[in-house]
Amino acid sequence: MSGTPSSERPAAALFDVDGTLMDTVHLHTVAWWEALRQSGRTVASADIQRAVGMGSDHLLDALAGEDRDRAGDQGLKAAHDTLYAEFWSRLAPLERAADLVRACAGRGLRVVLASSASGREAEVMVRALGAGEAVHAVTTADDVASSKPAPDVVQRALEQADVPPGRAVFVGDAVWDLESARKAGVTGVGVLTGGGYSREELLQAGATRVYRSPADLLDHLDDSPIGALAAGREPR
């Protein structure tokens, strides 16, 4: 590949899904709140919202304590999954999120969705997003040994796109997304649509740029790290 012009080498736009492309963080918050309540735990919704985006194992460490009886973890996750599934028919993408995915693909980038959701949940969200024709691949928590903030999901997405870390940009709404990207050596971009984190927190976690929403990123795509990557420049 060393003899191939950078603009002709494969490159990828990697996206988190919940809170980044889909307006689902509040739904996960409600589902986890009720699942924890049913287990006898009282956890503030604001704390749950900030934990959404991690894999369920890390999320429960944060919300139920690392010294908990882990024998109940599967029951908690099952309760969340059942409660969240009640919203499946009403899942909605964030404004112009599908257009953003299509725009990235239209610029020659391989779009990979990299989610901490289960494979079944991700399948439902991709269908609700409505841009499946522009998606090169999807990776989920089912495909990796350790979930966000570990780098495994991002590394698996790179493998699916068949690109090195320097030829990819990862877009996410939570600090866990940006930490995962940073650990994988991938340029991170933040969006504020998850609602749990401020611009400053996302920048501190490793984002090179932060945008209000997928629509805002789309409006500035050519001047963004994604646009730079598509043009064969360093994604900064």
Other CB atoms closer than 10 Å to residue 179's CB: what's the count? 20
How far apart are alpha carbons 105 and 125 in whole angstroms? 18
Nearest CA to 229 among 148, 164, 180, 175? Answer: 164
Residues of the chain with pLDDT below 70 are 1-8
Fold designation for 6-24+92-230 = Rossmann fold (3.40.50)
On the 0-12 / 13-18 / 19+ scale of CB atoms within 10 A, 116 is buried
pLDDT digits (tens, 9 = 90+) for 5-36: 345 689 999 999 999 999 999 999 999 999 99
Nearest CA to 21 among 96, 80, 106? Answer: 96
Fold designation for 25-89 = DNA polymerase; domain 1 (1.10.150)
pLDDT at 112: 98
Q: What angle do CA 138, 139, 145 make, to 5 degrees?
A: 170
Question: pTM for this structure?
Answer: 0.92
The CATH 3.40.50.1000 portion of the chain extends over 6-24+92-230
pLDDT at 9: 83
The CATH 1.10.150 portion of the chain extends over 25-89
pLDDT at 5: 33
pLDDT at 2: 33
